[in-house]
């Protein structure tokens, strides 16, 4: 319990500060009200519905506002035939969304928890991902966006904490996007909704209320398949996404006290991923550490590690480190032991430097 | 704890009237069960409970509550009001009678006396018949082509020509078709040419699917026919999404989606029907119950009375039709379309038929069913012959027409195959396009690398794919 409160307060202070950003996007920051993640997402959905009369938001319980309040007020504003509840059936939600998208609509489907996305796996992998290719580009379901809360929440256990991104990263034809903060979430979600490819948008549920940041009220998009260097450094490159970045940033701050200069990259889009940015960074630093909550074996860190080893082998000073979840189902009481914590990351940074 | 109320002091009188209402007020009461043989019908199992009272005081209290004795008492629960019943009864697992099957022509193509239906005119009937024969012939010739090794795979619709053509006839070109894979006749009706069918089967560069899928995986944006995929029943919830789009766009059109008896066991079938009902989607769910899912007969697929009864379970209006009666299928789909669009609701049609052909060229169905059974359906219950009899009976078709049609269709098909066989395959670049709207950088790299490999080892690659 004490650990949880410490974590809460630490994260809260991190998000009040906000993240550093690259110069190009800097002008978008620091304007607008301070809002949290679910409000930023709500703004994005509202803009999507406003700017395209053929956009729809649907899923379990979205009408009253959703279990995380991301869809609050949308049904009142846009009507219950555009923002509506579906029966409790993920394969139906995604299948229905594919059909809706195939007719040129923007189908924004919500899966209540990423832990429950698996009944829709067939529709996502066999249908959505292949819809354009198999039809010779006569048909496509690019208007489909599936949004779903993912990741540890402190007490979620097996079925309210999963990070299933790796399953989808293995499927050509899909895009997988993970925002780290409210400002990022609004821009990336709008980009996903308007991107002409089926996209899965994983929202770090831990940050729904906790993360607070200034978010411009206007309509803006952030680029997909473009990683962002959110902290510059010269000794080691760290790559992550979503909620894990704040943990990694803390490790970078602590490492700096020991004279280690860390470069931190938010991948943002997992597939197709921005190899060029990561490669350029590793060519500079000579070291790479990847961190994610999902179990280490077969996690997306493995793809990044293998690709960078191929591209930067001669430049690497040490093996690529992966600090990830354990190869177990996500535990309840043992969550603090399971998670890739700041100190695990810090230890690995030092070990890599001392290799 | 279950509470049973007695309506009369005279237990014996009530047993005679087959009411078994009891009150249980305290633990000291004994009870036992007995069966009243008169009360039990052959299809139901009603059990009566009897209790012996040890006290009469409670009995009097109960009695006063029910003095006005309104038998039509109603209970309020989420989901609406229900009438209560003091009789415990289970709905039987089988209905007393199977749902009747709508047909209009008898086995000899003669209209059934009491049937009334809007008949199709001569022009329409002839087009229907010609397309049924074309489909039948196309299936025979393409099947042969596969046997000769000219195409890699084929699946016929033999026995289901009436379903294919008649259902297509009842729709307009604006109605969207979301098929399974045994509905190429619908595409034929809409205007897909022999050459286009052949091009897809050969996967040549004229194939609008760009050679990516197995034969018979047709699709046509122009003809509003979604591209076929091998997966079973995945198209059903998608069809609901398509229908919702038509609904929201206020189009004077509906969706029709096809599936077989086997497909109804998939989760997507249940998901789709439920969504369609809840969302008031204008979609016709058309089940081709042809008795077989590869080697699995319907007795191993479900225990319900076919598929039609499942409609009501989801709140969907349904009908069972004779799938080998072209006019019955035409009428049912016409009516379903009208209801789907004007009432904005889904409709379920179960068409009973028989899969005369094998599941596909990878199957030999004589391994699991008798050749006699197949022959019976091919000779006696065949839908094309039956419809021809009706058309001939009307004086609209002669033997000369028949032989002329069959030989010209055959010639056209053989020509189309020959042409398709000689068209080159799609270029290598089509391996990498359309994965996304634009190829991402990893695909550029992979194409580059592959081309280098091809230069080094050209013998590993088919020579008819232009690089």
Residues of B (157-176) whose Cβ lies below 8 Å from A? 176
**Mean pLDDT, range B111-135, rounded to an integer:** 90
If asked whether residues B439 and B354 sit together in one domain, one would say: no
Q: What is the pLDDT of residue A32?
A: 87
Q: What is the pLDDT of residue B242?
A: 98
Select from B148, B138, B132 the least CA-distant residue to B361: B148
Q: Domains for chain A: give ranges and CATH numbers.
A: 2-215 (3.40.50.970), 228-353 (3.40.50.920)
Q: How far apart are CA B105 and CA B128, in angstroms?
A: 15
Note whether B195 and B252 are within 8 A (CB). no
Q: How many other CB atoms are found less than 10 A from the CB of residue B152?
A: 13
Predicted TM-score (pTM) of this structure = 0.89
If asked whether residues B409 and B432 sit together in one domain, one would say: no
Tell me which residue has tokens 């191993």: B300
pLDDT of B381 over the 70 cut: yes
Q: What is the pLDDT of residue B302?
A: 98
Give A2's pLDDT tier (boundaries 50, 70, 90): very low
Note whether A235 and A147 are within 8 A (CB). no
By the 10 Å C-beta count (0-12 exposed, 13-18 middle, 19+ buried), A225 is classed as buried
If asked whether residues B344 and B447 sit together in one domain, one would say: no
Q: Do B271 and A54 touch (CB under 8 A)?
A: no
Q: Which domain range does residue B47 map to?
A: 11-83
Answer whether B178 touches A (CB < 8 Å): yes
Facing A87 at nearest CB: one of B210, B213, B274: B274
Task: Note the pLDDT tens digit of each residue in A269-299.
Answer: 999 999 999 999 999 999 999 999 999 999 9
A84: distance to nearest CA of chain B, Å? 9
Residue of chain B with shortest Cα separation from A130: B435
pLDDT of B175 over the 60 cut: yes
Note whether B253 and B342 are within 8 A (CB). no
Q: What is the pLDDT of residue B118?
A: 72
Q: Is residue B348 part of a domain?
A: yes
Q: Do B241 and A100 touch (CB under 8 A)?
A: yes
Task: Note the pLDDT tens digit of each residue in B349-371.
Answer: 999 999 999 999 999 999 999 99
Active-site amino acid positions of B: 144, 230, 359-360
Q: Which pair of tokens denotes residue B180? A: 């399974």
> ipTM surpassing 0.85, yes or no?
yes
Answer whether B227 touches A (CB < 8 Å): yes
Q: Do A92 and B217 touch (CB under 8 A)?
A: no
Q: Is residue B466 part of a domain?
A: no
If asked whether residues B197 and B326 sit together in one domain, one would say: yes
Q: How far apart are CA A181 and CA A187, in angstroms?
A: 10
Select from A43, A100, A99 the least CA-distant residue to A71: A43
If asked whether residues B286 and B137 sit together in one domain, one would say: yes
- What is the phi-psi region of residue B104: left when phi exceeds 0, alpha when psi lies from -120 to 50, beta otherwise? alpha
Q: Is residue B389 part of a domain?
A: yes
If asked whether residues B173 and B217 sit together in one domain, one would say: yes
Q: How far apart are CA A163 and CA B243, in angstroms?
A: 33
Q: Is residue B100 part of a domain?
A: no
Residues in chain B within 8 Å Cβ distance of A107: 241
If asked whether residues B178 and B63 sit together in one domain, one would say: no
Q: Which residues pair with A58 in a beta bridge?
A: A84, A109
Q: How far apart are CA A199 and CA A144, in angstroms?
A: 6
Answer whether B431 touches A (CB < 8 Å): no
If asked whether residues B401 and B416 sit together in one domain, one would say: yes
Select from B128, B213, B219 the least CA-distant residue to B180: B219
Answer whether B241 touches A (CB < 8 Å): yes
Instruction: Check A127, A160, A303, A335 and give the catalytic one.
Output: A160
Q: What is the pLDDT of residue A25?
A: 54
Kindly report the backbone phi and psi dihedral angles of residue A110, in degrees, each rounded to the nearest multiple of 5, phi listed first.
Answer: -110, 130
In this structure, are strands A55-59 and A106-110 parallel, antiparallel, or unpaired? parallel
pLDDT of A17 over the 70 cut: no
User: Mean pLDDT: which of B42-46, B104-108, B115-119 is highest?
Assistant: B104-108
Q: Which of B83, B112, B138 is the last residue of a domain?
A: B83
Q: Is residue B139 part of a domain?
A: yes
Residues of B (345-374) whose Cβ lies below 8 Å from A? none
**Mean pLDDT, range B18-33, rounded to an integer:** 39
Answer whether A102 touches B (CB < 8 Å): yes
Give A110's pLDDT tier (boundaries 50, 70, 90): very high
pLDDT of B7 over the 70 cut: no
Q: What is the CA radius of gyration of chain B?
A: 30
Q: Do B435 and A173 touch (CB under 8 A)?
A: yes
Q: Is residue B169 part of a domain?
A: yes
B53: distance to nearest CA of chain A, Å? 47
If asked whether residues B440 and B418 sit together in one domain, one would say: no
Task: Note the pLDDT tens digit of each residue in A219-265.
Answer: 999 999 999 999 999 999 999 999 999 999 999 999 999 999 999 99
Q: How far apart are CA B51 and CA A289, in angstroms?
A: 76
Residue B305: give its domain's CATH number: 3.40.50.970
If asked whether residues B31 and B142 sit together in one domain, one would say: no
Q: Which of B36, B54, B83 is the last residue of a domain?
A: B83
Provide the number of structural domains found in chain B: 3
Q: What CA–CA distances, in Å, run from B28 to B4, B10, B24, B52?
A: 15, 21, 9, 10
Residues in chain B within 8 Å Cβ distance of A89: 271, 274-275
Q: Which of B57, B83, B109 is the last residue of a domain?
A: B83
Note whether A123 and A98 are within 8 A (CB). yes
Give B117's pLDDT tier (boundaries 50, 70, 90): confident
Task: Note the pLDDT tens digit of each residue in B153-165.
Answer: 999 999 999 999 9
If asked whether residues B190 and B274 sit together in one domain, one would say: yes
Q: Which pair of tokens denotes residue A44? A: 């994005």
Percent of chain B with pLDDT over 90: 83
Q: HEC profile for chain A? A: CHHHHHHHHHHHHHHHHCCCCCHHHHCCCCCCCEEEHHHHHHHHHHHHHHHCCCEEEEECCCCCCCCCCCCCCHHHHHCCCCEEECCCCHHHHHHHHHHHHHCCCEEEEECCCHHHCHHHHHHHHHHHHHHHHHCCCCCCCCCEEEEEEECCCCCCHHHCCCCCHHHHHCCCCCEEECCCCHHHHHHHHHHHHHCCCCEEEEEECCHHHHCEEECCCCCCCCCCCCCEEEECCCCEEEEECCCHHHHHHHHHHHHHHCCCCEEEEECCEEECCCHHHHHHHHHHHCCEEEEEEEECCCCHHHHHHHHHHHHHCCCCCCCCEEEEECCCCCCCCCHHHHCCCHHHHHHHHHHHHCC
pLDDT of A99 over the 90 cut: yes
Residues in chain B within 8 Å Cβ distance of A102: 226, 238, 241-242
Q: Is residue B105 part of a domain?
A: no
Residue of chain A with shortest Cα separation from B203: A136
Residues of B (257-296) whose Cβ lies below 8 Å from A? 267-268, 271-272, 274-275, 278-279
Note whether A106 and A145 are within 8 A (CB). yes
B241: distance to nearest CA of chain A, Å? 4
**Mean pLDDT, range B281-305, rounded to an integer:** 98
Task: Note the pLDDT tens digit of each residue in B44-57.
Answer: 433 333 344 444 55
pLDDT, mean over chain B: 89
Note whether B138 and B413 are within 8 A (CB). yes
Task: Note the pLDDT tens digit of each residue in B391-416.
Answer: 999 999 999 999 999 999 999 999 99
**Mean pLDDT, range B92-105, rounded to an integer:** 96
**Mean pLDDT, range A134-154, rounded to an integer:** 98
Residues in chain A within 8 Å Cβ distance of B236: 95
Q: Is residue B97 part of a domain?
A: no
Facing B238 at nearest CB: one of A56, A102, A173: A102
If asked whether residues B409 and B445 sit together in one domain, one would say: no
């Amino acid at each position: 319990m004490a650990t949880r409160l410490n974590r809460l307060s630490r994260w809260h202070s991190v998000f009040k500060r906000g993240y550093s950003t690259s110069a190009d996007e800097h002008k978008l920051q620091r304007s607008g009200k301070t809002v949290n993640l679910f409000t930023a997402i709500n703004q994005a959905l509202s803009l999507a519905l406003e700017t395209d009369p053929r956009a729809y938001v649907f899923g379990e319980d979205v009408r009253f506002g959703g279990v995380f309040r991301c869809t609050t007020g949308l049904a009142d504003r846009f009507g219950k035939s555009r923002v509506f509840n579906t029966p409790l059936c993920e394969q139906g939600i995604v299948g229905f969304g594919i059909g809706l998208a195939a007719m040129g609509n923007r189908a924004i489907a919500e899966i209540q928890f990423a832990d429950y996305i698996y009944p829709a796996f067939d529709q996502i992998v066999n249908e959505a991902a292949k819809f354009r290719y198999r039809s010779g580009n006569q048909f496509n379901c690019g208007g489909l966006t599936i949004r779903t809360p993912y990741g540890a929440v402190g007490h979620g256990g097996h079925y309210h904490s999963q990070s299933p991104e790796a399953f989808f990263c293995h499927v050509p034809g899909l895009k997988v996007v993970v925002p780290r903060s409210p400002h990022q979430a609004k821009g990336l979600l709008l980009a996903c909704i308007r991107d002409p490819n089926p996209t899965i948008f994983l929202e770090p549920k831990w940050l729904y209320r906790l993360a607070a940041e200034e978010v411009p009220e206007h309509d803006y998009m952030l680029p997909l398949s473009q990683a962002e260097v959110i902290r510059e450094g010269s000794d080691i490159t760290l790559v992550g996404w979503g909620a894990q970045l704040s943990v990694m940033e803390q490790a970078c701050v602590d490492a700096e006290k020991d004279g280690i200069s860390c470069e931190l990259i938010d991948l943002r889009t997992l597939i197709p991923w921005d190899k060029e940015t990561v490669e350029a960074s590793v060519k500079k630093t000579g070291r790479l550490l990847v961190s994610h909550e999902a179990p280490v074996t077969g996690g997306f860190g493995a793809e990044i590690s293998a690709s960078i080893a191929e591209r930067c082998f001669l430049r690497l000073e040490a093996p690529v480190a992966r600090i990830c979840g354990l190869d177990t189902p996500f535990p309840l009481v043992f969550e603090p032991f399971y998670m890739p914590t700041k100190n695990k990351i810090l230890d690995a940074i030092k070990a890599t430097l001392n290799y | 704890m279950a509470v049973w109320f007695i309506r009369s002091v005279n237990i014996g009188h009530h047993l005679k009237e087959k009411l078994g209402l009891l009150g249980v007020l305290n633990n000291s009461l004994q009870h036992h069960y007995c069966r009243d043989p008169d009360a039990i019908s052959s299809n139901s199992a009603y059990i009566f409970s009897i209790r012996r009272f040890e006290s009469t005081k409670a009995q009097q209290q109960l009695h006063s509550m029910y003095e006005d004795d309104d038998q039509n008492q109603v209970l309020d629960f989420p989901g609406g009001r229900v009438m209560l019943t003091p009789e415990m009864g289970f709905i039987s697992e089988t209905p007393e009678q199977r749902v009747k099957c709508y047909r209009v022509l008898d086995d000899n193509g003669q209209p059934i006396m009491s049937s009334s239906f809007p008949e199709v005119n001569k022009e329409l009937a002839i087009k229907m018949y010609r397309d049924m024969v074309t489909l039948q012939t196309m299936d025979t010739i393409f099947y042969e082509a596969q046997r000769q090794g000219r195409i890699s795979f084929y699946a016929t619709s033999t026995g289901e020509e009436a379903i294919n053509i008649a259902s297509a006839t009842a729709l307009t070109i604006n109605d969207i078709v979301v098929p399974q894979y045994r509905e190429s006749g619908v595409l034929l009706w809409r205007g897909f040419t022999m050459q286009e069918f052949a091009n897809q089967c050969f996967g040549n560069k004229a194939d609008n699917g760009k050679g990516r899928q197995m034969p018979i995986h047709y699709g046509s944006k122009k003809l509003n026919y979604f591209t076929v995929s091998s997966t079973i029943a995945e198209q059903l919830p998608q069809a609901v999404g398509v229908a919702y789009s038509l609904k929201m766009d206020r189009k004077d059109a509906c969706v029709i989606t096809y599936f077989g008896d086997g497909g109804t066991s998939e989760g997507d079938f249940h998901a789709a029907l439920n969504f369609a009902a809840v969302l008031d989607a204008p979609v016709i769910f058309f089940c081709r119950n042809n008795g077989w899912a590869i080697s699995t007969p319907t007795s191993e697929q479900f225990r319900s009375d076919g598929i039609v009864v499942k409609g009501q379970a989801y709140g969907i209006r349904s009908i069972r039709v004779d799938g080998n009666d072209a006019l019955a299928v035409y009428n049912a789909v016409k009516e379903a379309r009208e209801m789907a669009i004007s009432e904005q609701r889904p409709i379920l049609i179960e068409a009973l038929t028989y899969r005369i052909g094998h599941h596909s060229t990878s199957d030999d169905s004589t391994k699991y069913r008798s050749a006699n059974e197949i022959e019976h359906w091919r000779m006696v219950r065949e839908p094309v012959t039956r419809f021809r009899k009706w058309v001939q009976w009307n004086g609209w078709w002669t033997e000369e027409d028949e032989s002329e049609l069959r030989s010209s269709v055959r010639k056209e098909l053989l020509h189309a195959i020959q042409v398709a066989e000689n068209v080159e395959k799609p270029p290598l670049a089509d391996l990498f396009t359309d994965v996304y709207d634009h190829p991402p950088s990893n695909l550029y790299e992979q194409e580059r690398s592959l081309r280098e490999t091809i230069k080094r080892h050209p013998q590993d690659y088919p020579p008819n794919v232009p690089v």
